[in-house]
Amino acid sequence: MFNRIHAPAFAIALMASGLAMGPLVAQDYPSRNIAIIVPQPPGGGTDIISRIVGAQLQTQLKQTVIIDNRTGAGTIVGTVAAANAAPDGYTLLTGLNANMAVNSSLYATLAYDPIRDFTPVAMMAEFPFVLVVSKDFPAKSVQELIAMAKAKPGEINVASAGNGSGQHLSLELFKLMTGTDMTHIPYRGASPAYTDVISGRTPVFFDNLSSALGQIKSGTVRALAVTGKERSAQLPDVPTVAETIPDFQNYVWFGLWAPKKTPQAIIEKLHAEVKNAVADPEVQKRIAADAGVPMSTPLNEIEPMVKAEIAKWADVVKRANIKIQ
């Protein structure tokens, strides 16, 4: 009789204690090192932005932030490791277009799901691409490139850093939005691609702005347009592709994710800390120096943004018939 009478009150008390645990968990967090799994090698853009923000988080949180590069299988190895980590806030993942939006369409089977297996923490920065051409390439603008491509379908070779890469997807999006036909030539990274871009053998390239800046400033290639919604502070005289093709946009974006079921109180605390880190003047200066734009997206808007990106690139991958072996 006692159990039946008091069961509802006991359940309410239990629920209340559970709700109270959230703030307590966040109050004690973090009490030890935090690892950020970076699913790409040291030295690249994903690694650099992770280290910039990670160093500032370490200062703010007064705990060591370890950058753990887990490479392999086009970001899949590190992403799976993060998905399988304990959901306690001590293992985070640097997510970007590749592992959080594009892989779902590129691979017939994937060992993780970016929505099912992860909870967004915060966005960090976005980096546009830039459309560059060899010095002697006839087209001096996006309009002229489109006209050339329509006059000579399939005859213009366009480089990328590999099949399914951001550079490749920029090209395919461009082709679909302009109704043009150009030939994709994949390379094993941007460096070997530039050998043929500079020589004019493969004269067109949608490259990451951060890696293309040196080539542009040295005069080995010419910049026709950037792929952001606004002109880049690094190249203020270079138009956006969208000035010719409305709504054309493509960035590499970077954020932090946690394994699903990480306590919401910890997610919210981390979100606030990352937001403060990205707002730090020195962090913003370092991001801008690498041709990036700091991001501060409200927590409840990150997952809808990722879902929209998944749908966008699924359409491009399907229509362009892109396949990863």
Report DSSP letters for 261-280, one per residue.
T--HHHHHHHHHHHHHHHHS
For position 9, what pLDDT does the model report? Answer: 55
Strand pairing of 91-96 and 157-160?
unpaired
Under DSSP, is residue 15 helix (H, G, I), strand (E, B) or coil?
A: helix
Return d(Cα 186, Cα 176) in angstroms, integer: 18
Q: 3-state DSSP helix/strand/coil percent for the chain, to nearest 5?
A: 50, 20, 35
Output the pLDDT for position 279: 98
d(CA 174, CA 25): 47
Question: Do the Cβ atoms of 166 and 99 come closer than 8 Å?
Answer: no
Cβ-in-10-Å burial (0-12, 13-18, 19+) of 2 comes to exposed
- CATH 3.40.190.10 for the 128-243 domain, yes or no: yes
Q: What fold is seen in the domain 22-126+255-320? A: D-Maltodextrin-Binding Protein; domain 2 (3.40.190)
Ranges for all domains in the chain classified under CATH 3.40.190.150: 22-126+255-320
pTM: predicted TM-score of the whole model, two decimal places: 0.89
Backbone Cα Rg of the chain: 22
- Token pair listed for 99: 């592992």
Burial of 127 (0-12, 13-18, 19+ CB in 10 A): buried
pLDDT (tens, 9 = 90+) of the chain, 325 residues, equals 334 445 455 555 545 555 545 565 678 999 999 999 999 999 889 999 999 999 999 999 999 999 999 999 989 999 999 999 999 999 999 999 999 999 999 998 999 999 999 999 999 999 999 999 999 999 999 999 999 999 999 999 999 999 999 999 999 999 999 999 999 999 998 999 999 999 999 999 999 999 999 999 999 999 999 999 999 999 999 999 999 999 999 999 999 999 999 999 999 999 999 999 999 999 999 999 989 999 999 999 999 999 999 999 999 999 999 988 6
The answer to whether 73 and 39 have CB atoms below 8 angstroms apart is no
Q: DSSP letter for 252, please.
A: E
